[in-house]
Amino acid sequence: MSELPVIRLRPKSKPQAIRHGFPWVFADEAVLDRRTRNIPAGGFAVLEDAERRPLGLVTVNPGSKIVARVMDPDAGARIDDAWLRARIGRALAMRQRLYDQPFYRLAHAEADGLPGLVIDRFGDAAVIQPNAAWADAMADRIADALAEVAGVGTVILNGQGRARGLEGLDERMEVLRGIAPEAPVEVAMNGAIYLADLLGGQKTGLFYDQRPNHAFAQRLAMGARVLDVFSHVGGFGLAALAAGADHATCVDGSAAALELAAGGARAMGAGARLAVMRSDAFEALEELATGDRRFDLVICDPPAFAPSKQALEAGLRAYERVAKLAAPLVAPGGYLGLCSCSHAADLTAFRNASARGIGRGGRRGVLIHSGQAGPDHPTLPQLAETGYLKALFFRLDG
């Protein structure tokens, strides 16, 4: 008999969703009595339906809207070092089959059976984002498992971001194992070289999710004049240069990110073909429209304008505005790439907002490609949030 506490679904909740793989229990779906509320954040419990039938082992956070996350469908499982090694090992095996170099997202939270835990690998170093209380509490043991299973020498905890705030977790940055790199790490992807700042960069230092969309953009980039807006460290711009673009301009509000973009271009031997422009992206698009410069390929990859359902309407207006401002900058017969990392905006809503914006920008076009995150960012079919990234590529008429 389990010694763990029990958390039970309310009678009107639908346990079949959990049985079929949905990994979350919301606060209004569970019986939150005094005993349940006394379970420490990040503690473990057995989840039962209203008839007291076990549904699995969960981690509990009484202070979160997601009060329980399924750790294992086996209610008798033990979340110990062996369990961590097994989960990380399974995730690692898939990445090693997919990629010939150790640069990838090693664990994608719920989709890899590690709820709220993101791990990005940068060669001998790994950056973890423990965005759930259990992972934050077990961060040192996760680092040990990573070192043992993946053989990494350095593990950095990046405890920043909106998700941690929703879990009631404080922000923190810590080197858990090894020594943090003194210089940005060179990451080779699609023939380009990116520089990732593992301690001072955004998120974990680099966005691996756009890798297949960078590759598609490269097919449009040979000999092209390219504009990469919201470029971060040069994601699309450097990929275009690696594919033979004549010139690329990267626009971002972060001087540090643009410095890394320029460094990546130099490392590729393409420094002379890259220009950087530090500016608010909307202001840059408006400013460029006042001149006569046009680009063969324009790509806009903004931050999440719709991070929640409450922000959806405003977020879709922002995506529409991006498309409206970007479309006039595309040369006749050129291409426009528009991206969204907002899980609250599904593909249809984002596509419609983008099409409206293109029309309001005085252009017409056809959609030639829809992209998503790479396979190192697997999607859990039952959880739409794991399939957050959308990338749309349009060919615009004259």
What CATH number does the domain containing 331 carry? 3.40.50.150
pLDDT at 60: 97
Q: How would you classify residue 82: left for phi > 0, otherwise alpha for psi between -120 and 50, otherwise beta?
A: alpha
Within a domain: residue 198? yes
Same domain for 193 and 165: no
Within a domain: residue 362? yes
Same domain for 190 and 53: no
Same domain for 378 and 230: yes
pLDDT at 2: 62
Same domain for 282 and 387: yes
* Interaxial angle between packed helices 81-98 and 139-150, expressed in degrees from 0 to 180 and rounded to the nearest 10: 50
Within a domain: residue 246? yes
Same domain for 89 and 60: no
**How far apart are the C-alpha atoms of 24 and 69, rounded to whole Å?**
5
Last residue of a domain, which of 16, 39, 72? 72
266 by Cβ neighbours in 10 Å (0-12 / 13-18 / 19+) ranks as: middle
pLDDT at 188: 97
Same domain for 252 and 319: yes
Within a domain: residue 314? yes
Phi, psi of 11, rounded to the nearest 5 degrees: -55, -35
CATH number at residue 142: 3.30.750.80
Phi, psi of 198, rounded to the nearest 5 degrees: -75, -20
Last residue of a domain, which of 146, 177, 208? 177
Same domain for 303 and 190: yes
Q: Which of the residues in the chain have pLDDT under 70?
A: 1-2, 398
What is the 3 state secondary structure string of 248-302? EEEEECCHHHHHHHHHHHHHCCCHHHEEEEECCHHHHHHHHHCCCCCEEEEEECC
> Is 341 one of the annotated active-site residues of the chain?
yes
**How far apart are the C-alpha atoms of 85 and 67, rounded to whole Å?**
25
DSSP string, 151-163: --SEEEEEE-SHH
Same domain for 259 and 385: yes
Give me the percent of the chain exceeding a pLDDT of 90: 90
Number of independent structural domains in the chain: 3
Last residue of a domain, which of 40, 72, 104? 72
Which amino acid type is present at position 95? R
Using the 8-state DSSP alphabet, how is residue 17 labeled? H
Q: Which domain holds residue 60?
A: 6-72
CATH number at residue 51: 2.30.130.10
Same domain for 109 and 65: no
pLDDT at 363: 97
Task: List the catalytic residue out of 250, 300, 339, 341.
Answer: 341
Same domain for 227 and 342: yes
Same domain for 225 and 88: no
Same domain for 378 and 264: yes
Within a domain: residue 58? yes
Within a domain: residue 377? yes
Strand ranges inside 37-113, DSSP E: 43-48, 54-60, 66-72, 103-108
Within a domain: residue 1? no
Stretch (H or E) spanning 25 = strand 24-26
